[in-house]
Amino acid sequence: MSQGLFSLQNRLYRLSALASVILLTGCGTANTIGNQLFGLNSGSAPSGAASSVFGYAVADEPQAALVGRDVLNNGGNAVDAAAAEGFAQAVTLPSRGGLGGGGACLIKMPDANGKMQPPVMLSFPAGAPAGNAGDRPAAVPLLARGLLAMQARYGQLPQSAVIIPAERLAGGAQVSQALEADLGVVGNALLADPQAAAIFAPGGQMLAEGATFQQPDLATTLENLRVNGVNGLYAGANAAQFANAADEAGGGLTAQDLLNAVPQYGTPDISSQNGYAVASLPETASQSAALPASASFMALDNKGGAVICVTSMNNLFGTGRVAPGTGVLLAASPRTSPTPDLAAAMAYTTGGYAFRAAAAGTGQNEAADAARIGLANALAGQNQPVPEPGRANVISCPGTVPGGEASCRASAAPGGNGLAIGGR
């Protein structure tokens, strides 16, 4: 796509989403945005808003949640919405969920006949390359491959529909409070890399909340994925070009690393709680070291399809380096960083697999407790506090879905700077 055409499309998109962008500019917190203007964090539909379908989108970065909700409103199911949220959050919160990283998802969707199926787990971690080269070893990026695999199997929209919103955001997104907070943690260390500095401090000063930041190289990478699917990054000349760029940034990746790394479907951990079956992502073994930061997003559709995903860069902002010409921030190799705790849990009826509740946990070493407590609160109607720095995003439907849509609520974690949005 030419730069001129991309800029025109981005301007048109931003005009159509003007109200959403205004909400994100100069506001105190994502939760304040929702509570004061749209009731978004409670999952209710805004008064006088455009017609919306039943469904919920929740993400740790508000613009990603808005993308997920738009996808649901335009005929997508929970997988389409979650995949779109994941690609969008790779643009707007690359510190915790960039294309250079990876993650895992819990997926519960109906089959082709509409019969709900038991949940499955999809694992696509930012893994270790075969070799051990590079002065700043990078992980093999699996986020895009995981999201594309999930959408190809369960989605109902064209694959391009889940990438286009992210591609447009790469042309100009708002620095949210979530991203500003992460930039404040790493400070000037991130600016040692000229590629990263050009994105996050284009004038020599770190961008603040409300500022617009542009990632034209990342837009091109996303365009390549949109046009060519997984081959746009993981095979042939595209893989070779990305590996060379990663090597230039000290990552030590090869084209073969990209080709060999594939997502894996599996069976989640299954338990029972309050009369419901509960599927969970396996917990990381207890470690004394501080675990890497993570981010989450989730979606629920009108048929009871539900997806929860958690991502990580194996370190806040990964290696701190961007592969030149790609816009992709490289995740840290698991050989140099502890394994992140990707925490999520979903409750459903044991008979027909109807959706009851979902919780995603983040907060490094407290992530697993956050997901566990968030789900327990949803099932028992309680409000037990989550230990700091844990954060739990939750969707809860006491009447279950399908059937009890009016009972549903969604919430982003207090203090987490995320957004939950829904409507009926």
Answer whether residue 194 is part of any domain: yes
Distance, CA of 98 to CA of 294 (rounded, Å)? 11
Distance, CA of 153 to CA of 182 (rounded, Å)? 33
3-state secondary structure of 297: strand
Distance, CA of 257 to CA of 292 (rounded, Å)? 23
Burial class (CB in 10 A: 0-12, 13-18, 19+), 310: buried
The predicted structure's pLDDT at residue 203: 87
Task: Please report, for residues 104, 106, 236, the alpha-carbon distance to residue 119 in angstroms, rounded to integers and kept in the order given.
Answer: 13, 7, 34
Nearest alpha carbon to residue 62 among 37, 84, 33, 38:
33
Answer whether residue 18 is part of any domain: no
Distance, CA of 393 to CA of 378 (rounded, Å)? 11
The boundaries of the domain holding residue 296 are: 3-13+39-423
Task: Please report, for residues 53, 179, 396, the alpha-carbon distance to residue 376 in angstroms, rounded to integers and kept in the order given.
Answer: 28, 29, 11
CB count in 10 Å sphere of residue 272: 10
Answer whether residue 25 is part of any domain: no
- Residue in the structure block whose two tokens are 């199926």: 117
- Four-point Cα dihedral 237, 239, 242, 244, nearest 10: -70
Answer whether residue 262 is part of any domain: yes
Answer whether residue 191 is part of any domain: yes
**Pair of tokens at residue 55:** 């469904």
- Per-residue confidence of the chain (424 residues) as pLDDT tens digits? 333 333 333 333 333 333 333 223 223 333 332 332 222 233 333 333 346 799 999 999 999 999 999 999 999 999 999 999 999 999 999 999 999 999 999 999 999 999 999 999 999 999 999 988 889 999 999 999 999 999 999 999 999 999 999 999 999 999 999 999 999 999 888 999 999 999 999 988 999 999 999 999 999 999 999 999 999 999 999 999 999 999 999 999 999 999 999 999 999 999 999 999 999 999 987 667 899 999 999 999 999 999 999 999 999 999 999 999 999 999 999 999 899 999 999 999 998 999 999 999 999 999 999 999 999 999 999 999 999 999 999 999 999 999 999 999 999 999 899 999 996 5
Burial 153-183 (b: 16+ CB within 10 A, else e): ebbebebebbbbbbbbbbbbbbbbbbbbebb
Q: Determine contact, residues 71/84, Cβ cutoff 8 Å.
A: yes
Answer whether residue 19 is part of any domain: no
Answer whether residue 161 is part of any domain: yes
Answer whether residue 109 is part of any domain: yes
Q: How many domains does the chain have?
A: 1
